[in-house]
Every structure is written in C-alpha cells, then in structure tokens.
C-alpha cells in the first residue's frame, strides 16, 4: 500500500519512551512458534502500532504481538494485521504498520491508561538512537 498523504487513522498515535514489541506469526500452529527479538515501538494507538524490525513482514498476514511498556511489569498481548512495511532508508531494518484487530477489554483499559499518561507524539529515531536501542533491547 502506497501512502497518498491522506491520514486514515481513526486514533491519534503516541510514542511511549522505552517501549518495545515482539511478534509471532499467527495461524493454525501459531502457538508453537517462538516470539521474535524485541524491537523498538515507534508509536501506538488503541487501534494500531508502528515499529522497526529486521524482518520484512508479509502485508495482510496476522501476527501475535507482545507490547512492553516501562510503566507496567508485564507484556500486553494483542493480535494485528500487517498493513504496510517499508525498507528504512536510514537503517538496516523495516518500518512496519499494524492494524490491531484483537485486544481484550482488560488490555484495552491498560493501553488507554498508558496512552492517557503519555506526553510524546512520536518516538524520533536517528541512526545512533536506533543502533543504541537495538543493542539495549
């Protein structure tokens, strides 16, 4: 999907400093698959997220995600569909956009609380920051 400059998001995205995401392919035997390495979560809303990964994930496929935030002591599970992926021009990685299509009521409340207490509009990422964060995660 190529971006035409029109904003289609129904919810404002927020950057949550030091947040990360891991993922696993869904499907019939998805419970047997391991989760990926942890990657930097660039922004998130109640309905979507944007992160950087080393893999070019398949657009249209559903994945399981574990979202980690510094303010809570456990990962927030979600499922979502890859909407777009784009090779980063600055990093040896891919920027990936996800539409969250399943988040339990409990975890929706947790995520809303996190977003309500977030001050950032987005996580700005330079090459230096990217390399530092990848090593830290």
Question: What is the pLDDT at residue 121?
Answer: 45
Q: What is the chain's percent helix, strand, coil content, to nearest 5? A: 20, 35, 45
pLDDT tens track for 76-127? 999 999 999 999 887 788 999 999 999 999 999 999 888 887 654 445 555 5
Q: Answer whether residue 121 is part of any domain.
A: yes
Q: Is 8 helix (H, G, I), strand (E, B) or coil?
A: coil
Question: What is the pLDDT at residue 129?
Answer: 57
Q: Is 86 helix (H, G, I), strand (E, B) or coil?
A: strand
Other Cβ atoms less than 10 A from the Cβ of 74: the count is 9
Given a cut of 70, whether residue 8 has pLDDT beyond it is no
Q: Is 10 helix (H, G, I), strand (E, B) or coil?
A: coil
Cα–Cα distance, 23 to 59 (Å, whole number): 14
Supply the pTM of this predicted model. 0.75
Question: What is the pLDDT at residue 33?
Answer: 65
Given a cut of 90, whether residue 67 has pLDDT beyond it is yes
Q: Answer whether residue 15 is part of any domain.
A: no
Q: Answer whether residue 38 is part of any domain.
A: yes
Question: For 107, what's the count of Cα atoms within 13 Å in the CB-facing half-sphere?
Answer: 19
pLDDT tens track for 9-61? 456 666 777 889 999 986 555 555 689 999 989 888 889 999 989 999 999 99
Confidence of residue 130 (pLDDT cuts 50, 70, 90): low
Q: Is 129 helix (H, G, I), strand (E, B) or coil?
A: helix
| CA-based nearest residue to 123, from 72, 51, 55 | 51
Structurally, the chain folds into a number of domains equal to: 1
Question: What is the pLDDT at residue 94?
Answer: 93
- What is the CATH number for 24? 2.40.10.220
* Residue 82: DSSP 8-state: E
Q: Answer whether residue 3 is part of any domain.
A: no
Q: Answer whether residue 56 is part of any domain.
A: yes
Q: Answer whether residue 12 is part of any domain.
A: no
Q: Answer whether residue 11 is part of any domain.
A: no
**Mean pLDDT calculated for residue range 56-72:** 93
- Identify the domain containing residue 46 by its residue range: 20-136
Q: Answer whether residue 78 is part of any domain.
A: yes
């Amino acid at each position: 999907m190529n971006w035409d400059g029109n904003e289609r998001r129904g919810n404002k995205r927020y950057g949550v400093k030091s947040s990360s995401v891991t993922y696993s392919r869904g499907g019939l035997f998805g419970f047997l698959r391991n989760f990926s390495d942890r990657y930097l979560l660039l922004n998130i809303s109640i309905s979507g997220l944007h992160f950087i990964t080393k893999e070019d994930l398949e657009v249209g496929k559903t994945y399981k995600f574990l979202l980690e935030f510094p303010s809570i002591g456990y990962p927030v599970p979600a499922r979502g569909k890859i909407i777009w992926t784009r090779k980063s021009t600055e990093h040896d990685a891919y920027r990936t956009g996800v539409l969250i299509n399943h988040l339990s009521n409990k975890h929706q409340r947790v995520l809303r609380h996190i977003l309500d207490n977030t001050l950032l509009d987005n996580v700005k990422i330079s090459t230096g920051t990217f390399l530092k964060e990848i090593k830290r995660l």
